[in-house]
């Protein structure tokens, strides 16, 4: 069963979350404020940031915007992307994050990625201490494989906490999460907030028009989405979008949100105008037929057992 996160005043998490990775980077103060207000106006209640985003500027800008809306919002940040998963690194960086956000309590704290060099008992105990002190409300993990999440769940239970939410990558051309991650979340009652529903902008169709963005500016994204079939899938998505007279970005976000597990995709943008098509996914009606048609644009990953004949 899908876990439902709520804010301090009991407001449930919105169907989509907004990721503030661009705040203080590609989005300046004015643009960040406009994006935040557009998200609120559309009903977004779940906002995501991280200690490492733009050297802290993302957390600082988000914290400065919360104001009277804070009680009804879910604010998530992440620790230990750099420096490892030690107790000291998690708790020291979180204290900096909390001050940047100007919050007494942060709703969600993720371990940003799995650290194979630190005993996970130490990491989970650090998160448990923060929760027991009333400084965080939910515990999350990001970029963990399914087996790593289950390991974290079992270790967390030793410290009387649960792993409440997972943040994996997931979009129409990155579907590995369908094999074990999304079923595991459904089975274990872990909420799921996948990032990159637009595939670094690939699924908006902008690169086929000659526009620039992460895929042209960041070698990591260029490699991540460098396969020809991915670009062909983006072209196919654009053709369906044109046929339906809707933005390709709207279709991409709505598709990611329509998985039966019930994930909460994290959308993002550099401007309020750029954000509009993603927000439109909140009201888009994804039929089973359209979902299957879009799914057919990219390869379905083989099952974890490799018994493809049983699919």
- Which CATH number characterizes residue 77's domain? 3.20.20.100
So what's the pLDDT on residue 307?
80
Q: Is residue 248 part of a domain?
A: no
Q: Where in the chain does DSSP place strands (E)?
A: 17-19, 46-48, 74-79, 106-111, 136-142, 165-167, 191-192, 266-267
Q: Is residue 275 part of a domain?
A: no
How far is Cα of residue 192 from the mean position of the Cα atoms in its chain?
8
Long-range contacts of 308-311 (CB under 8 A, 24+ apart): none
Residue 127, domain extent:
1-167
So what's the pLDDT on residue 2?
65
Q: Is residue 211 part of a domain?
A: no
- What would the pLDDT profile of 12-62 be if each residue is shown by its tens digit? 999 999 999 999 999 999 999 999 999 999 999 999 999 999 999 999 999
Mean pLDDT of 266-274: 96
Q: Is residue 45 part of a domain?
A: yes
Bridge partners of residue 167, in order along the sequence:
142
In the chain, what is the greatest distance between 2 CA atoms, to the nearest angstrom?
Answer: 55
Number of domains composing the chain = 1
- Average of per-residue pLDDT values in the chain: 96
At residue 135 the predicted structure's pLDDT band, cuts being 50, 70 and 90, is very high
Q: Is residue 141 part of a domain?
A: yes
- Residues marked active site are found at 53
Using CA atoms, how far residue 162 sits from 129, 153, 253, in Å, is 13, 6, 28
Q: Is residue 123 part of a domain?
A: yes
Q: Is residue 187 part of a domain?
A: no
Q: Is residue 291 part of a domain?
A: no
């Amino acid at each position: 069963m899908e876990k439902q996160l709520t804010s301090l005043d009991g407001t449930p998490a919105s169907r989509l979350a907004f990721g503030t990775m661009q705040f203080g980077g590609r989005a300046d103060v004015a643009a960040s404020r406009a994006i935040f207000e557009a998200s609120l106006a559309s009903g977004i209640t779940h906002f995501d940031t991280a200690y490492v985003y733009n050297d802290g500027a993302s957390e600082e800008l988000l914290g400065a915007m919360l104001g009277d809306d804070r009680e009804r919002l879910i604010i998530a940040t992440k620790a230990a992307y750099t420096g490892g998963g030690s107790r000291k690194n998690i708790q020291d960086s979180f204290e900096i994050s909390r001050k940047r956000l100007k919050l007494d309590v942060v709703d969600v704290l993720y371990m940003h990625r799995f650290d194979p060099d630190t005993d996970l008992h130490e990491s989970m105990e650090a998160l448990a201490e923060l929760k027991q002190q009333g400084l965080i409300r939910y515990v999350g993990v990001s970029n963990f494989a399914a087996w790593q999440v289950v390991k974290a769940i079992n270790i967390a239970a030793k410290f009387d906490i649960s792993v409440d939410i997972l943040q994996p990558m997931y979009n129409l051309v990155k579907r590995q999460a369908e094999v074990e991650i999304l079923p595991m979340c459904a089975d274990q009652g872990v909420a799921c907030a996948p990032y990159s529903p637009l595939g670094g902008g690939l699924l908006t169709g902008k690169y086929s028009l000659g526009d620039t963005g992460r895929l042209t500016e960041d070698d990591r994204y260029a490699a991540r989405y460098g396969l020809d079939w991915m670009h062909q899938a983006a072209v196919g998505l654009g053709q369906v979008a044109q046929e339906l007279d809707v933005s390709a970005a709207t279709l991409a976000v709505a598709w990611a949100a329509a998985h039966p597990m019930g994930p909460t995709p994290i959308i993002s943008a550099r401007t309020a105008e750029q954000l509009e098509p993603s927000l439109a996914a909140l009201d888009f009606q994804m039929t089973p037929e359209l979902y299957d048609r879009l799914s057919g644009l990219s390869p379905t990953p083989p099952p974890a057992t490799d018994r493809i004949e049983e699919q």
